Amino acid sequence: MKYAILSDVHANLEAFQTVLDKCRELDVSSFVFLGDIVGYNANPRECLSLLRSLNVIAAVKGNHDEYASNGDEIMEGFNPHAREAVLWTQHQLTDDDKIFLQGLPMVSRIRGTQMTIVHATMDGPGAWGYIYDIHQAIDNFSYQSTQLCFCGHSHVPVTFCRKPFTMSKERLVEELKFWAAKDEEPAMGFNSDLADEIVLPIEPGCKYLINVGSVGQPRNRDPRASFAVYDSEAGIVTRYRLPYDLSVTQQKIRDCGLPERLATRLEHGM
């Protein structure tokens, strides 16, 4: 079975539609959502409606989903641009939209699979911490009972593998750096106008903590929409990077009167 793993759409309708077109091409049967369908961009209701129309077998709440639906106007820890976008989003959502977002869990273990999903971290999902390095990954692995854990929140694709315990001198937890594919130069093949993919084989006995990147606001200096597909029969997770017409998304942000920074950062993937 093929599962599309999506995270951090952030109301970017053009990127979301591009990803869903690819999912249809790949004959994806089920969708898994890692949180933050709203925030930053200009189509929160449309993206939420589109998400709810899919065969979503599991979804968790992101911090923007939380603040957009609970009426919090302080949003401690948010930068001013993020806060302004959430305040604007609160006025765009219906009561039913907010009830749906409020009802999402923080963590979900998906029945019948070896997948657990969380927006932030397993050890403190409501504290909205980030996983960037091995030390943070080790903390997460201590709470992870399934072979795969998918997370989002940082908008930066990163994967860690926990190997079976052995008496060897190998590091028990390591970052699989090929998954990030960041900081590339054009001479190395990076081209943000092209689609490409990165394949992660799932090895028996290993555990994986996988951040699939962001659909709607990447922050790894790659502006393309990022998501993954887990093929449980083939035993692989493939990360796709897709270009989309971000100029349309940028113009919508400006037309809504949202901060210019939210528009310009899209083209830089920052």
CA distance 51 to 4: 12
Query: Is 238:198 a contact under the CB 8 Å cutoff?
Result: yes
Q: What pLDDT is recorded for position 186? A: 43
Domain range for 161: 2-268
pLDDT at 187 over 50: no
Q: Are 194 and 126 in contact (CB under 8 A)?
A: no
Strand spans (E) along the chain: 2-6, 30-33, 56-59, 107-110, 115-118, 148-151, 158-162, 173-175, 196-201, 207-211, 225-231, 236-242
Output the pLDDT for position 183.
47
Q: Which helix (H) or strand (E) holds 238?
A: strand 236-242
Task: Judge whether residue 269 has pLDDT over 50.
Answer: yes
User: For position 187, which CATH number holds?
Assistant: 3.60.21.10
Q: How many domains does the chain have?
A: 1
Q: Is the pLDDT of residue 248 over 70?
A: yes
| pLDDT exceeds 50 at position 188 | no
- For the whole model, what pTM was predicted? 0.94
